[in-house]
Amino acid sequence: MIAKEKVAEEAATTEANALAVLAAKEMNATNGLATSTFLVCARMRPAFETELAEGGENFECVLKTTCTEEGAEEATVLLPKISLTGIPKIERSSFLFDHTFGPGATNDDIFAALGRPLVAKTFAGEVGVIFAYGQTGSGKTFTMSAIMDRVVTELFPSDGTAPRAVRFSYLEVLGSSVHDCLDASKLADVQIGEALDGRVLTRNLSSHDVDSAAALERLIEVAKSRRATAPTERNATSSRSHGVGILTVAQPGFAIDDVEAPRAGVLMVIDLAGSERAADSMGHDKKRMDETKAVNLSLMALKDCIRARTLASIAAAGEKVFVPYRRTKLTLLMKDVFDISCSRLCSTVVLSCVSPLAKDAPHTLNTLGYAAPLRVAVRTAPAGPMERDERDPALWAHEKAVTWLAATAKAPMHDAVDVSDGDGYVGLAGFDAEAVIPGMSGLELCRMAEAELHLRIKKQVPGKEGAALGARVHAALWMLICDAKTRRRRPNGNLVTEEEEAEEARKTEEAAAKKNALWKEREASLAAGSTLDAAASMASRM
């Protein structure tokens, strides 16, 4: 039966197809710019000769099959079963992904389709995250290690290109504890929290500036050697923690901590702990059971965050989407990916790794069933046409984008560098907004890398003034983008105006005031009643 299945001819997704899918994802939001995108993929490791030689259930039953849906690829599990009447049958389960990599796909194929685009986005100052999910022994750590090795090559090319400033940290999340894998001398756990301005802060986590591929490779090997592992039935060195490698990459010619530089890009390479079902943990002791419970809870929280953030890209029809990224340490560390108000583009790759063997089919079905629903949101957009949001910069025509940029480029009086134009602001003499965004639409302006925007502005306004202006323009633009993402709509798709929001707020305050007055009246009545009862009781005793 398996041999008769029509298997896709290509074992790996091409880099061109991967870029096309990624571009489509970035245009997928129905309420403005898609500021956080998710690629959901599957990889089937090859069956080893030693496994096939054992016979029994050690045969391949997971395939990459053809798919009729555009922009999707299919993974199929063919599970032999015996019916109640004793008739053998094949139970087929198919799952759709953005990319599916068959057993013939190499690590180079995986990196070309998934890793290299993330590195390019990191170079542009964006946030990139890639993580692997699956049962122990499915190839997660093997895949993530290979991706990290190739990231090193991209960061420090051998063609003579001047490398950028790079900073590296590595931590492991083990339940509610977080440990630094690069500095064993630190006794205190790593603390992850939020600053008043919303930034994620880490305490007791070492950061290492690296200037060569060899230096970064040494740190990666140290981190790997210090991760928590334990033997399981399927893997003698199963990862019992989530390993998170964090690479911060500066813009060319700038140091990472340079206050005048555009923000550095961030790339997270995450090797999740192996998932386990209840049947797999029957032989565990209490400590191992607690670890399994913590791993499964964090994986469910990660799934909930991805689903909620995907929903946030759909016009919410007046309903606010809550993304529970504060539920676990791992999702809090990934806050930029999940926070709707994050002021830069984020891209995440979810790679589910599975074994092709029939004996692992229950695990495989569980893994694919976990990952596949993340590819699409579970709720549709409001019925009927939606009202156009004229305040959304992603919808602006070129002329409106130029007008906005020219107006925003005016500096407050105390930052004056040129003559006043008489309206309380100082015009930047010679500043040409058209030259900054020639022929570009609002969407193209929104998707422009922060470093590129800084560079174009500094061509006209050099020095610190240009750096400050670039930062101010970028911040103002992203405030509009985030406002558009969270702007309320009616169930029919119409926008809730500022006047309507103010009226709703006024009515809410009035209702609260009436309720408070009613409670005060009741309290006064109860107090008066208690006084009368006390007086009557005293009179009866006299």
Side chain identity, residue 273:
A
Compute the residue count for the chain: 542
Please enumerate in sequence order all residues whose Cβ is within 8 A of that of 203, keeping only pairs 6 or more positions apart, or say none.
190, 191, 193
Q: Cite the beta strand spans of 221-310 per DSSP E.
A: 229-230, 238-239, 242-249, 265-271
* Residue 104 marked as a ligand binder: no
* Residue 136 marked as a ligand binder: yes
* Residue 141 marked as a ligand binder: yes
* Residue 137 marked as a ligand binder: yes
Tell me if 260 sits within 8 A of 467, measured CB to CB. yes
Contacts 24+ apart (CB under 8 A), 180-185: 180/204, 180/205, 180/206, 181/222, 181/223, 181/226, 181/227, 181/243, 182/206, 182/208, 182/219, 182/222, 182/223, 182/226, 184/226
- Tokens standing for residue 485: 């993402």
* Residue 427 marked as a ligand binder: no
* Residue 138 marked as a ligand binder: yes
- 210 forms bridges with which residues in the sheet? 166
* Residue 537 marked as a ligand binder: no
CA distance 425 to 524: 56
Give residue for tokens 């005060």.
Answer: 520
Based on its alpha-carbon atoms, the radius of gyration of the chain, rounded to whole angstroms, reads 28
* Residue 140 marked as a ligand binder: yes
Nearest-10 Cα torsion for 265, 269, 275, 281: -120
CA distance 257 to 208: 13
From first CA to last CA, the distance across the chain in angstroms is: 101
Please enumerate in sequence order all residues whose Cβ is within 8 A of that of 291, keeping only pairs 6 or more positions apart, or say none.
174, 175, 230, 240
Binding-site residue numbers for ATP are 134-141
Residue stretches of the annotated binding site: 134-141
